[in-house]
Amino acid sequence: METINLTCIGCPMGCPLTVTMENGEVKDVTGNTCKRGDDYARKEVTNPTRIVTSTVICEGGKIDAVSVKTKSDIPKGKIFDVCSALKGVSVPAPVKIGDVIIKDVAGTGVDIIATKQVDKA
């Protein structure tokens, strides 16, 4: 039986969570105040994931950079692969929130989408 203490990062509350595991399987989660906390705890101890936020170059827009994110979470171990995949990427204005910038980034199956609207200059 193994006990792991975590801080939930699901929302700004940061509830302290306790996960009990046995043979690599999650037996119990306590400390969460919502379902997302429970989901997070289970994932974090078996297959931790993160959402990656970053920027890429925007060309011909009112501003030079457009903020982006992974549309959903990706394996924690692939964070830097995702960052590297964004290197040198540039997207022409206009950009709308939700526009797909890169499909299936770094083999994660998750798209990179724009999180900022950039109008043409």
Partner 1 sequence: MKAYDVIIIGGGPAGLAAAASARRNGVESILILERDRELGGILNQCIHNGFGLHTFKEELTGPEYARRFIDQVEELGIEYKLNTMVMDISADKVITAMNREEGMFELQAKAVILAMGCRERSKGALNIPGYRPAGIYSAGTAQRLVNIEGFMPGREVVILGSGDIGLIMARRMTFEGAKVKVVAELMPYSGGLKRNIVQCLNDYDIPLKLSHTVVDIKGKERVEGITIAEVGPDRRPIPGTEEYYPCDTLLLSCGLIPENDISRGAGIEMSPITSGAVVNESLETNIEGVFACGNVLHVHDLVDFVSEEAAMAGKSAADYVQGKINRDTKTPDVKIVATDGVRYTVPSVINVDRMDGDSIVRFRVGDVYKNHYVSVYLNDERVLHRKKQVMAPGEMENVVLKKDQLAAVDGLNTITVKLEEA
Partner 2 sequence: MYDVVIIGAGVSGSAIARELSRYQVNACVVEKAEDVCCGTSKANSAIVHAGFDAENGSLMADLNVKGNLMMEDLSKELDFSFRKNGSLVICLHEEDRPNLEALYERGVKNGVKELKILEHDEVLALEPNVTDDVVAALYAPTGGIVCPFELNIAMAENAATNGVEFRFNTEVRNIVKKDGSFELVTNNGTIATKCVVNAAGVYSDVFHNMMSSKKIHITPRRGDYCLLDKTTGDFVDKTIFQLPGKYGKGVLVSPTIHGNTIVGPTAIDIENKEGTNTTQEGIDELINKAGSTVKGLPIRQVITSFAGLRAHEDNHEFVIGEVDEAPGFFDAAGIESPGLTSSPAIGVLVAGMLKDKLNLQEDPNFVGTRKGVTHLNSCTKEERDALIKENPAYGSIVCRCEMITEGEILDAIHRPLGATTLDGIKRRTRAGMGRCQAGFCSPRQIEILARELGVDQSEIRKSGRDSKFIVGTPKDRL
User: Which residue intervals of the chain are DSSP H helices?
Assistant: 35-46, 79-85
Given candidates 50, 71, 75, 93, which one binds partner 1 under the rule CB under 8 A? 50
Residues 6+ away with beta carbon under 8 Å from 49: 43, 73, 74, 75, 76
User: Binding of partner 1 at residue 62 (CB under 8 A)?
Assistant: yes
User: Binding of partner 1 at residue 55 (CB under 8 A)?
Assistant: yes
Q: Among residues 40, 41, 61, which one has the least CA distance to residue 120?
A: 61
88 contact, one of partner 1, partner 2, none, CB 5-8 Å limit per kind:
partner 2
User: Binding of partner 1 at residue 33 (CB under 8 A)?
Assistant: no
Given candidates 17, 58, 86, 113, which one binds partner 2 under the rule CB under 8 A? 86
Contact 72, 97 (CB under 8 A): no
Can you give the binding site for partner 1, defined by CB under 8 A?
Answer: 6-14, 50-55, 57, 62-65, 67-69, 76, 79, 83, 97, 115-117
